Amino acid sequence: MKRSTQGLSLIELMVALAIGSLLIVGAVFVYSQSRNTHTVTDSIARLQENARFAMSAIEADVMLAGYYGFTNSPDDFKFIQGGSTASPIPSSLMQQSKPALAGLPSSAQACGTNFAVDLIAAAQGSNNAYTRPCAAAGGGASPTADTLTIRRASTAPAAATAGRLQLLVSRLSPTNQFVLADGVLPASPALQPDNVEVRDLLVRTYYISRNSTGRPGVPALRVKALTNGPAFAASGDQEILPGVEDLQVQFGIDTGDYDGDGVIDPGLDQNGDGIPDAPNGIATRYVNPNAVPAGFQVVAVRIWLMVRADQPEQGFTDNHRYQYADRDITPNDGFRRMLISKTIRVRNARTL
């Protein structure tokens, strides 16, 4: 007996094709969404990683601001030449508000008068501007970002070197602390491991450049550092990380107002000059870098970093309103961003 065989009808074939098409479209949609999610997740993770790296690069310096070897008191230092301690120049005359320090090479004055040797200003900055006369790399500095300058000693001893700004520090004789630029040490105090040592003076200014190295239009976090010479040379201007779009800074100062009533607490201003006589290192007020009152110590630094993706993201618009420090911005562009903030205590904040 013959059995009749039948194929699919046109309607059945059309239904099968429709179902198959829907399954394929669904699979493609799920793949596309998964891929987009992965791309966004990867972009956010990269921003987080970059932000943490940039912050860690600055944090170590900030914590050591005002560390000068065996002392955290810049008032103990004097500038000497040729190893002679007969007529040293006190730190009060090494400030940026004073005439250019005699004996300090002009190359060390490139970023400002006495900028390299103003040990009293362990942490300083400029607000929404790059104000240093020494040129910023990367096509110039961002006109809206802050700068942050840190002064401290190297953590390891160094050999006395001509053409390098260095500190001769003494643990046993606090008044015998000297600054020198010619590598010539005085006869006394004699070098002694762990007691009398030479340390390099580190001066670093962090800022935002308009362009990353080899990548026009991509901003970058850079640092301008004091080098051999002593000088602020091009070789001392290094890029830390591309994609950092903004740096904002506020300084925490100890006003002596620990009860929050707006005035120095009783007994803490015996001479009536409006400055606490013996602050305890607690930040009671935060101010912009150019608004630190004369005579007040910086005991903490609050930093904001805005990190931007390398490329704009298709279909994404960053219309978030960012309010931080004294900034209030809404980018309205296709770049994904991350804003991080950290308050860092200055470990060597001195007692006045």
Band (154; pLDDT cuts 50, 70, 90): very high
- For residue 240, the model assigns a pLDDT of 96
Residues 66-108: tens digit of each pLDDT: 999 998 889 899 999 999 999 999 999 999 999 999 989 999 9
CB-based burial of residue 240 (10 Å sphere; 0-12 exposed, 13-18 middle, 19+ buried)?
middle
Band (170; pLDDT cuts 50, 70, 90): very high
Residues 117-135: tens digit of each pLDDT: 999 999 999 999 999 999 9
Which is more confident, 267 or 164?
164
Residues 29-64: tens digit of each pLDDT: 776 666 666 566 777 888 899 999 999 999 999 999
- For residue 271, the model assigns a pLDDT of 78
Least confident residue range of 57-71, 76-90, 174-188, 259-273: 259-273
Residue 320 has pLDDT above 80, yes or no: yes
Residue 301 has pLDDT above 60, yes or no: yes
Band (272; pLDDT cuts 50, 70, 90): confident
Mean pLDDT of 225-240: 93
State yes or no: cis peptide before 74, omega within 30 of 0: no
Mean pLDDT of 235-243: 94
**101/109 Cα distance (integer angstroms):** 9
- For the ranges 15-19, 267-271, 333-337, the one whose mean pLDDT is highest: 333-337
Run of H or E residues at 45: helix 10-63
**Average pLDDT of every residue of the chain:** 89
Q: Where are the domains of the chain?
A: 41-345
Residue 2 has pLDDT above 60, yes or no: no
- For residue 38, the model assigns a pLDDT of 55
Least confident residue range of 41-50, 75-84, 185-194, 275-284: 275-284
| Residues contacting residue 189 through CB under 8 Å, at least 6 positions apart | 168, 170, 172, 173, 176, 196
Which is more confident, 154 or 11?
154
- For residue 352, the model assigns a pLDDT of 46
State yes or no: cis peptide before 289, omega within 30 of 0: no
Least confident residue range of 13-27, 166-180, 276-290, 323-337: 13-27
Run of H or E residues at 154: none
End-to-end CA distance of the chain: 114
- For residue 17, the model assigns a pLDDT of 79
Band (114; pLDDT cuts 50, 70, 90): very high
**69/328 Cα distance (integer angstroms):** 40
**352/174 Cα distance (integer angstroms):** 16
